[in-house]
Structure 1
Amino acid sequence: MTRTLVEGFDRGAVTLARLLAREGRRVTLAGPDTASQQALALRAKGVEIRAHADLDANPGQHDEAFLDVWTPEVAPRVALLRESGCVVRCLGDFVLERSEAPTIGVTGTAGKTTTAAFLAYLLRTAGVTVHTSTTARAANLWPTDELLPAPADGVVLMELTSSHLCFTTRSPRIAVITCFWPDHLELHGSLDRYRAAKEAIVSRQSPGDVVVVNEDDVDAAAIASGSPGRRFGFSAKAEVDAGAFVRGKEVVLRDATGERSFHVPARVDGPRLQALLAAAATALAAGALPEQLGPPQAPPFRATRVGQLGDTELIDDGMAATPAKTAAALRRRAAGSVVLVAGGELEIAGLPVHSSPEEQMLLEQACAEARRVARLVVLFGPAAARLAPFFDRSRIVRAQTLDEAIALASERAEGAKVLVVSPMFPLPPADRERIAPALETLAQARE
């Protein structure tokens, strides 16, 4: 009998444990927290429940382990399980294994969610049944229990982060790679291990599979080269042999049958254009291109316009938990035109963020971009102390909390073209979800 560990007591873990127990496995459901009532009910199905468990000290003996997506690859339990011969997996890997429908996985250091959301829109517009999760945190399209049991019709579309991919044993039929740079290295231990996690999206593909890649990104293109499958590219800078690119004001799609072109939708900035190109190239590769390339709605928290405060545009970029994402939001802004709210937490999963040499360089570059465009920077939270040395004292204001930072920024926004909340550091989910309502309140108060 296969011995299987499922980590955590959330709905996804409970659903997976129940499914595996029905298949006759010897399942242990374990985690550091108190077990939920739904988890405790599984004892009647023969599932062992280990609440308040220290898995890093003693994960137990198992043949397979399905770990939580927030588990760092550097966690001691990961090494202990692997050393014992256990196969370490995640819920997303289970979906990849069991899905009878074609699977599409989107990864990259940035742009995953927007690309996946745009792709879902394009495929559905073309009449395809798309199975994707709607309950993941912060509008991410990560695999959740909504995909269990794995679908048999249409296509399965999943956003796969490095924290998913480091625990996978399979690759999707169509793998999409948006970009690659050093990020979240604290979760993996090194740049090489972070890259290896991303490479997993293509490392187990077959010649009949497909990779879709950003040909403008050398490192992403190198990862795609590990796929034995057909290659489709996308580029905002040059033509590609097969895939999507920009020619003048047209998005051009090219494959073996020829070319089709669509007008670039209005109000599509650089990052969203890249996401749209990625989605269009993937739809082309899937053979399900809609007749029109309309402007899909972007997911929230990602450089989203919320409203107007006088002449100042209000932007929620709360998902920018890394410096390079903030730099992307600021890059096309004019010098001295921005009031920036930045800060957040210095750790994630108990590990220091942006601490590797590679990430420190990206932090310096992002702050240089912020110095160029910002007339004022409002810093908040523990990360304020780390960010402050990068800026002239006369151009920064310190706040204890995010709410205080937004209020201070609004009081000093006159003359700025944009007020953007783009933290550069991680935020608790509850804080991120308060950004848009706070900005909307500012806009409504001025009306």
Structure 2
Amino acid sequence: MTIVMDTNNVENQAIEAKKAARKLSALSNEEKNEALEILAKELENNYEVILEANKVDLKNGEAQGFDSALMDRLALTKDRIYDFANGLREVALLEDPTGKINTSWVLDNGLKVEQVTVPLGVIGMIYEARPNVTVDATGLALKSGNAIVLKGGSNAISSNQKIVQVMHSALEKTKIPKEAVQFIASTDREATKQLFTMKEHIDVLIPRGGASLINAVVNNATVPVLETGVGNCHLYIDEKADVNKAMSILINAKTDRPAVCNAAETLLVHRSWFNSNKETLAKTLQDHEIKVFGDETVVKTLAGAVQATEKDWAEEYLNLSIAIRVVESVDQAVDHIDRYGTKHSEAIITEDAQAAKTFMSQVDAAAIYHNASTRFTDGGALGFGAEIGISTQKLHARGPMGLPALTTIKYLMSGNGQIR
């Protein structure tokens, strides 16, 4: 694993990763698991030096006026570092997704055909302020037999460099080649652009971050992209929604962790339900200090609500703000989501089975909920184990991407001299 500032060396790092991927793909599940345990221990043993490096990023963040949500994503503590380590151990406990025979058959001529799962090869990971992604993505890549090229944001550069140095030291004690994990420390945008076009070395790019980062990768990359989602997630409270369920789900989806992609950003409310329960809704929003951007009906009814603009309906606030629109039907709610949604996570709260069926069948999103919070769109919460991101596209993976999403297939044919 090489750490460089010279963007001319980025291609060399990708080449080294590709060489290491070939060796990594031949390792056993036990060898990979042993390596993950060693990585976990090294992170725990070196938490103090990681925290010292993190202080540099936090100081720079304060100087640049980062908001509280960004500072929280950037900040590390001893407990968070130990959580990273335990996350690696949890990944080690997961089933190896590679080497599985999905199906097999024998042709009339006696040729045996097997379809097996294999690693993608080299993953390019482009991400922003979260240092935990450095560890999480590395663990998932190595467990699934992939090498990884990491390109973190400049706002976490000190933390990421130190974490990678610790992982570098740990890998030297394992069967996994240290070159299987590459970190591009250059803050020059040209380094990122290079990753976009190295199809001969990088098999897939996975961007994690805000809309501008994801759009830049999707629009400019010639390497295949697994697009992880910006989350303009909607809750629709239907005409026949239970009030207690609706308020409980709303508060969880909006306030549990407002800075994550599966938090609710827009609330759609059936007019008849709104007219009957507007006082309860107003009190709930006020009690939890949620700022409201609303349509004309909402602004007239809810004290303190600000008139929503077109931008608000598409906004991923990532804070305690929410856009609220009153609609006339489930069909109108679906139309709104179709126009402004990001195909991440959408929810309907209703006791009407037909309304739920209509919503769930017609909304186009990776995850759709009936009477439950959007906060469950997470690999761990859904029982997949760790995740490398949440895909909002439809090819090759969709929704929370765990280990299986980091594999592809290969056909193996065994014969006895057959020719065609």
Q: Same fold (TM over 0.5)?
A: no
Greater relative CO, 1 or 2 (CA 8 Å, sep 6+): 2
**TM-score for the superposition, normalised by structure 1:** 0.28
Q: Max radius of gyration: which structure?
A: 2
Give the helix-richer structure, 1 or 2.
Answer: 2
**TM-score for the superposition, normalised by structure 2:** 0.30
